Amino acid sequence: MVKGEFSWSQIFSYGGMPSSHTALATSLLITMGYFQGVSSPEFAIALIISIVIVKDAAGIRRKLGKQAQIINHLIKKLPDKEEYKFPILNERYGHTMTEILVGLLISVVSTYLLLNIIK
């Protein structure tokens, strides 16, 4: 994919704007709080799941993308007859804080709207 161009394959990949992982986890958290209450076991479980998902999206998977960039750079420095032996790694993993915050904002707004529609 050329930067700035649309690609269907990128929709189902990791990383990018906004963080759909954050949006889904936050929507689940808000919905559990709305229907079950913030002191319910369901809300507590949703909170823990949300924290794990967002931490993973911003932390571990973000670092995997950085490592992939470095490894790809090292592979390109190999002689041509050696370079082809190694696959080019996907560098698009994880989310920046901006992508996470936009996912959070979209989730809050869309969940609020949907909860008010079904009221």
Asked, for residue 7, whether it belongs to a domain, the answer is no
Sign of the dihedral defined by the CA atoms of residues 6, 100, 27, 25, in that order: positive
Asked, for residue 84, whether it belongs to a domain, the answer is yes
Asked, for residue 4, whether it belongs to a domain, the answer is no
Give the position of tokens 């992982």: 21
Q: Could you give the percent of the chain with pLDDT greater than 90?
A: 26
Statement: residue 13 has pLDDT above 70: no
Asked, for residue 105, whether it belongs to a domain, the answer is yes
State the total domains in the chain.
1
Asked, for residue 66, whether it belongs to a domain, the answer is yes
Asked, for residue 81, whether it belongs to a domain, the answer is yes
- pLDDT tens-digit series, residues 26-77: 999 999 999 999 999 999 999 999 999 888 877 777 778 788 888 888 888 8
State the average pLDDT over residues 103-116.
89
DSSP assignment of the chain, as one string?
--TTS--HHHHTSS--SS-HHHHHHHHHHHHHHHHH-TTSHHHHHHHHHHHHHHHHHHTHHHHHHHHHHHHHHHHHTS-HHHHTTSPPPP---S--HHHHHHHHHHHHHHHHHHHHH--
Asked, for residue 12, whether it belongs to a domain, the answer is no
Task: State both tokens at 1.
Answer: 């994919």
